[in-house]
Structure 1
Amino acid sequence: MSVKSADTKARILEKSIELFNRFGFVSIRMQHIADEVGISVGNLAYHFKNKDAIVEEVYEEIELNQKILLSDLKIVPLFINIDQHIRDTYLIQQKFSFFYSDTFEILRNFPLIKKKYREYTRWYIQQIENMIAFNVARGTFIPETQDGLHQKLAEQYWMTMELWLYQSRIRTFDEANIEDYAASLWALLIPHFTHIGNIEYKQMHFNENFNWL
């Protein structure tokens, strides 16, 4: 692929994401995308044969971005790393907000994405379980008081992380807020802190509030 062709393809994806975010992916046709990019529909079809191909490519980018973030978190999931992961995830969801607002509709219309998303979700929840287990081992999380509790916590954490934007838009017309997003996720984890965990969490926020010193 030539540099010019690669640049055109990247611009198509960029403009498609912008249009999907503004109007929803269902409302956008190939003509809309071609007009936004400033090319003909025929030229657009040279790079992507239809809108399905564009959506599938965008999903690949979403999943890749999320996996990179989670790989970074897996190295040392201390509280400060968890908080950074939450905030970076929020930024990804803002960049691809159409996907997180219309997840069910997209999965229903794109079987390939549905299959990949389900496999990715299982893997993602397992990584969250590993994050919890790491913090139990270092004494910041309380050990399970009953079998399967941390698995359920991991599932709740994933659901809140993945569906927060959708729920937020249903409940209010206000712009989504990164602090509310982070607070919603930490609210699930805080009840499982040990005394050491509570100290680390308070210290993390103390350092954030006074990082200007």
Structure 2
Amino acid sequence: MKNRIKLIAVELFNQHGISTVSMKQIADKLGISAGNLRYHYKDKAALLEVIYNEMHNETLNYILPKNSYITLFHFEEMMLKFDNLQERYLFFFSDVVHILKTYSNISHIYEVSNLIRFKDARKLVDYYIESGRLKPENKYIDYDKIIYSIWMISTFWQSQKQVITSKKYKVNKGNSMQMLWNILMPCFTEKGMNEYLELKKFVNQKQ
């Protein structure tokens, strides 16, 4: 039952936004009483915390290979997993500021985990520099700011689609991956660009 409750809650949150969905609406959708629902989750905060912890634990599995050569494809694969997560939990990334202001336990975990990700991303960038795929940092290239820009795009990608909805405007459609590559491409060395072109050729062949 607990898993069914979570699935229905995510479905309703995605459809209507977390702030407008009540525990009663979730209970009604499940066909159970509000009291029965509260037996499993005492309130919406408890339910949301469990859902967020599952999201967070899933991202811990988005790891790059250790003790082996990390390609640009590994980076793309990892970021596409994040994109897929955001589609499945659209409500969280649409209402992330509201959620973090309202639910302090989630806010703390979210900030700490992102600060760790920034450090891990910097290690990856340094690895790509050392292996000749990215140019060394200079007065025109600040990788800490690039990392933060990548985080902002990937985090708010789903919500920005709801702001610019015109079907004629194509730039913001699909996943965020090409936008992320556009940020990184000016930093590629010749070796990095060649690897990127091979990656795109492989991806296009699969489609």
Please indicate, yes or no, whether the TM-score normalized by the shorter chain is above 0.5: yes
Work out the CA distance in 1 between the residues paired with 2:155 and 2:206. Answer: 30
Tell me which amino acid in the other structure corresponds to 1:185: L
How many residues matched? Answer: 202
**Which has the larger displacement, 25-34 or 145-154?**
145-154
Q: Specify which of 185, 189, 193 is matched with residue 190 of structure 1.
A: 185
Work out the CA distance in 2 between the residues paired with 1:154 and 1:98. Answer: 24
Name the counterpart of 2:102: 109
Residues 74 and 127, structure 1, Cα contact 8 Å, conserved in 2? no
Residues 129 and 151, structure 1, Cα contact 8 Å, conserved in 2? yes
Q: Specify which of 16, 38, 42 is matched with residue 49 of structure 1.
A: 42
Work out the CA distance in 2 between the residues paired with 1:138 and 1:14. Answer: 43
SS of 1:210's equivalent in the other structure is helix
Q: Specify which of 82, 90, 98 is matched with residue 89 of structure 1.
A: 82
Name the counterpart of 1:205: 200
Work out the CA distance in 2 between the residues paired with 1:52 and 1:140. Answer: 45
Q: Specify which of 41, 53, 59 is matched with residue 52 of structure 2.
A: 59
- 1:115-140 per-position Cα deviation (integer Å, ceiling 9, x unaligned): 11111110111111111111111100
Unaligned runs of 5+ in 2: none
Work out the CA distance in 2 between the residues paired with 1:74 and 1:130. Answer: 13
Residues 87 and 178, structure 1, Cα contact 8 Å, conserved in 2? no
- 1:46-76 per-position Cα deviation (integer Å, ceiling 9, x unaligned): 110001111111111111112211x2x2535
Calculate the TM-score normalised by the size of structure 1. Answer: 0.88
Residues 141 and 187, structure 2, Cα contact 8 Å, conserved in 1? no
Name the counterpart of 1:122: 115
Name the counterpart of 2:131: 138
Work out the CA distance in 2 between the residues paired with 1:31 and 1:138. Answer: 55
Q: Cα offset for 1:173? A: 5.6
Unaligned runs of 5+ in 1: 1-7
Tell me which amino acid in the other structure corresponds to 2:186: P
Q: Percent of pairs identical after alignment? A: 27
Work out the CA distance in 2 between the residues paired with 1:77 and 1:106. Answer: 35
Q: Cα offset for 1:114? A: 1.0
Name the counterpart of 1:149: 142
SS of 1:141's equivalent in the other structure is coil
Name the counterpart of 2:18: 25
Work out the CA distance in 2 between the residues paired with 1:67 and 1:191. Answer: 29
Say what the alpha-carbon RMSD is for the aligned residues: 2.0
Q: Cα offset for 1:211? A: 4.0
